[in-house]
Amino acid sequence: MNKELIRKNIFKLLDYSGLTDLAFANVLDLSEKQLRLIKNESAEFSIDDINKACDFFRKSISSINNKEIEVDRKFRDKLITQHKNNPEYSIILEKRPSITYAINFELFHNEKFATEGIGIGSIKALFEDRGWKFSSGYISTAMDRNSDRIKRIPNPERAGWYLYKLR
């Protein structure tokens, strides 16, 4: 068993699922600190943790132990559908995803954001169309935290306001 490859694949699936680290730690019945240690390669997943993760992500152990997996951008939506009759998991998946997921998997795939730039209000509306409620301040902070990938430009139509676009 290649525990390093399994760890890498589980965290890739976690990124594509949109769950926060805390929510995923709860799925595995781990502390958030223990999950952080595993993420930082200071600890390892137990066999039980791996089995729970495989059950949640609907993957076989052999598939995550074989090679680095390819994950569809719509993986979260597929998980929601697959777990719709499983209240243990559906409750977790019905909550809004992490802001990082919303940016990486929704905002970065928006054509207007990528080419022209859009304001915080439009970003908020884009997320709300998916059923995800984030405050404007939270979105603004996330945009600033991702300044290596997101460019902030003055809004030509509103003095003192900004548009955000893909770098």
In 3-state terms the chain splits into helix, strand, coil percentages (rounded to 5) of 60, 5, 35
Can you give the pLDDT at residue 61?
Answer: 95
In degrees and rounded to multiples of 5, residue 7 shows phi and psi of -60, -50
Segment 27-42, tens digit of pLDDT: 999 999 999 999 999 9
Work out the pLDDT band at 48, boundaries 50, 70, 90.
very high
3-class DSSP assignment, residue 134: coil
Rounded-to-10 torsion of CA 102, 106, 109, 113: -70
Whether residue 96 contacts residue 131, with contact meaning beta carbons closer than 8 Å, is answered with yes
Can you give the pLDDT at residue 1?
Answer: 86
Mean pLDDT within 29-56: 96
Threshold 0.75, pTM exceeds: yes
Q: What whole-number distance in Å separates Cα of residue 21 and Cα of residue 33?
A: 10
Work out the pLDDT band at 20, boundaries 50, 70, 90.
very high
Q: What contacts 166, CB < 8 A, 6 or more positions away?
A: 108, 113, 114, 115, 149, 150, 151
Q: What whole-number distance in Å separates Cα of residue 68 and Cα of residue 108?
A: 23
Segment 117-129, tens digit of pLDDT: 999 999 999 999 9
Segment 58-102, tens digit of pLDDT: 999 999 999 999 999 999 999 999 999 999 999 999 999 999 999
3-class DSSP assignment, residue 162: strand
Can you give the pLDDT at residue 160?
Answer: 87
Mean pLDDT within 30-58: 96
Mean of all residue pLDDT scores within the chain:
95
Q: What single letter denotes the amino acid at residue 12? A: K
Q: At what angle do helices 47-57 and 3-17 cross, to 10 degrees?
A: 40
Model confidence at 149: pLDDT above 90: yes
Model confidence at 54: pLDDT above 90: yes
